[in-house]
Amino acid sequence: MLMAPAWHGWVNDQIEQLQAQDLLRSLKPLIPGHSAVEVLVAPDVLHAWTEECDPQSCAGLPTEGSSLRLFSSNDYMGFSAHPAVRRAAADAALRHGMGPRSSAVVGGYTFLHEELEQRLARLKNTEECLLFPTGFAANMAVVSALCSSPDVTIFSDELNHASIVDGARLATRQQGRLKVYRHNDMQHLEDLLAECPQGHRKLVITDSLFSMDGDFADLAALVQLRRKYAFLLALDDAHATFVCGKRGGGAAEMFGVEEEVDIHIGTLSKAVGVHGGFVACRAAVKSFLLNRGRSYIFSTSLTVPVVAAALAAIKLNEQEPERRKHLWRLVERLAEGLGMPAESPIVPLIVGSEAAALSASAQLLQRGLYVPAIRPPTVAPGTSRLRISLSAAHSMQDVDDLIDTLRECSIIPVKGEPQQGLAKL
């Protein structure tokens, strides 16, 4: 059946506009193996991918399948391909299948889900934890369920995850109020807090480690403001869980403010290496979200193999702290090679235009390295970038090769030359 003409024309017009603006995206099927940072790519896929970025970069591409080293994954600990994680998922699938396929509240919750919640609560030093199908769903539930009334004001950093933004939009449709403060600008936040009507309940929510800039929220200042203005502090710790802190407890542990954070939101799809989300919090907040969080109530629970794999990753996090130390040594090595500071395993190289970011990414692809070009709407216009993401599965040689290739492609200057055209963050 054909699409209605008005819709057909509109969709095609939108696609053409995206293509003209260098904003059109497509899917590239990769062939995963047993490495968290290396995949195979078929020659036709590589050609189409590179041509999409920069047709001139296709010359000299291999005609056979190639391997790519990934600097694009959020698998910061390399657990997704760890033998213990793979084995846990396989054993659970053979023993239990996928598990009950219903929402958690009507039968999809198993003893393994309960154990994972308990282990995550201990990791985050909270009373309880509630699992979600994704980190996106977790943020949506926290913001929309807690803040959908006219006597609540949400205060959100302007660079927060899209899931926080969408949760806040949903809350405002239910009469909640939203105030957005400039990125990490604590004076602006305090000005907004001071203007909040007396008697309003207040939620301040922020990413702990910002996914596109690689910088941290000012947790020390947020804690001081929390004491002064008595707001609920929610921390989206998606990119810091397992990465930060002596135990891998996240940014709050690293900065020594665990007890000052009311709600810890996290994901299992990044450093944990599997899939899903969670909210670690007080028992009363868990009960409320379980009964009022629509993205929890109306979603099918996580599959048993995924839960078993996450439990295996938590054990590895406890047993192999050297992985986290190695990751931070890689961060230091990359910062030294780039000649610019790096606060975290997320290191952006801002190149400006969408076309420049695509061209730079294509040059690296041609040389067997994948560093994604990040463009609007993920980042603001004029700030398109290469986003380097490090993993404990990388070696020092991997990082050295990346630095050398960035220089070879003139994306960063040769050592000793002045830096031009690349914003220091």
Query: How many domains does the chain fold into?
Result: 2
Write down which residue in 295, 319, 343 finishes a domain: 319
- Segment 180-196 shows an average pLDDT of 98
What percent of the chain lies above the pLDDT cut of 90? 89
Say if residue 163 is in the same domain as residue 250. yes
| Structural domain range at position 99 | 82-319
| From 40-44, 79-83, 419-423, the region with the lowest mean pLDDT | 419-423
Catalytic residue, chosen from 161, 202, 239, 264, is 239
Residue 25 domain flag: no
Question: How sure is the predictor about 44, in pLDDT bands with cuts at 50, 70 and 90?
Answer: confident
Model pLDDT, residue 413 = 83
CATH code for the domain of 263 = 3.40.640.10
| Among 71, 90, 122, residue whose Cα is nearest residue 304 | 90
| From 55-69, 249-263, 303-317, the region with the lowest mean pLDDT | 55-69
Catalytic residue, chosen from 57, 211, 295, 361, is 211
Active site annotation includes 208: no
Catalytic residue, chosen from 124, 270, 286, 394, is 270
How does DSSP assign 71-140, residue by residue?
Answer: S----TT-GGG-HHHHHHHHHHHHHHTT---SBGGGTT--HHHHHHHHHHHHHHT-SEEEEES-HHHHHH
What is the reported pTM? 0.93
Say if residue 207 is in the same domain as residue 299. yes
| Among 123, 127, 124, residue whose Cα is nearest residue 317 | 123
Residue 212 domain flag: yes
Say if residue 176 is in the same domain as residue 124. yes
Model pLDDT, residue 61 = 57
What percent of the chain lies above the pLDDT cut of 70? 94
- Segment 9-30 shows an average pLDDT of 93
pLDDT at 2 exceeding the cut of 90: no
pLDDT at 416 exceeding the cut of 80: no
Active site annotation includes 389: no
> Is-contact 390 71, C-beta < 8 A?
yes
Model pLDDT, residue 425 = 26
pLDDT at 63 exceeding the cut of 70: no
| C-alpha–C-alpha distance, residues 354 and 55, integer Å | 15
pLDDT at 1 exceeding the cut of 80: no
CATH code for the domain of 385 = 3.90.1150.10
Residue 75 domain flag: no
Cβ neighbours for 36, distance < 8 A, ≥ 6 positions apart: 70, 73, 75, 78, 79, 80, 81, 82, 273, 391, 393
Determine phi and psi for 153, rounding to 5 degrees.
-120, 130
Tokens, residue 188: 């602006």
Residue 21 domain flag: no
Strands (DSSP E) along 361-419, which ranges?
Answer: 369-370, 373-374, 384-389
Question: How sure is the predictor about 351, in pLDDT bands with cuts at 50, 70 and 90?
Answer: very high
pLDDT at 46 exceeding the cut of 90: no
Active site annotation includes 211: yes
Say if residue 101 is in the same domain as residue 119. yes
Write down which residue in 319, 351, 375 finishes a domain: 319
- Segment 347-362 shows an average pLDDT of 94
| From 122-126, 310-314, 329-333, 350-354, the region with the lowest mean pLDDT | 350-354
Model pLDDT, residue 50 = 78
Say if residue 312 is in the same domain as residue 330. no
Residue 10 domain flag: no
Question: How sure is the predictor about 117, in pLDDT bands with cuts at 50, 70 and 90?
Answer: very high
- Segment 275-281 shows an average pLDDT of 99
Say if residue 367 is in the same domain as residue 273. no
Model pLDDT, residue 236 = 99
Residue 121 domain flag: yes
Say if residue 299 is in the same domain as residue 338. no
Write down which residue in 319, 354, 371 finishes a domain: 319
Cβ neighbours for 236, distance < 8 A, ≥ 6 positions apart: 135, 139, 160, 161, 163, 164, 205, 206, 207, 208, 265, 266
Of residues 57 and 362, more confidence is placed in 362
Say if residue 344 is in the same domain as residue 395. yes
Residue 3 domain flag: no
Model pLDDT, residue 415 = 65
Say if residue 295 is in the same domain as residue 370. no
Say if residue 384 is in the same domain as residue 307. no
- Segment 232-246 shows an average pLDDT of 99
Residue 386 burial by CB count (10 A; 0-12/13-18/19+): exposed, middle or buried?
A: buried
Which whole-number Å values give the CA distances from 19 to 13, 163, 228, 270, 362, in the listed order?
A: 10, 26, 49, 30, 16
- In 3-state terms, what secondary structure has residue 342? coil
Model pLDDT, residue 187 = 99
- Segment 274-282 shows an average pLDDT of 99
Q: What letter does residue 303 receive in the DSSP assignment?
A: P
Say if residue 343 is in the same domain as residue 244. no
pLDDT at 20 exceeding the cut of 50: yes
Residue 179 domain flag: yes
How does DSSP assign 4-44, residue by residue?
Answer: PHHHHHHHHHHHHHHHHTT--------EE-S-SSEEEE-HH
Say if residue 281 is in the same domain as residue 138. yes
Model pLDDT, residue 59 = 57
pLDDT at 420 exceeding the cut of 90: no
| 316-337 pLDDT tens trace | 999 999 999 999 999 999 999 9
| C-alpha–C-alpha distance, residues 270 and 79, integer Å | 9
- Segment 151-159 shows an average pLDDT of 98
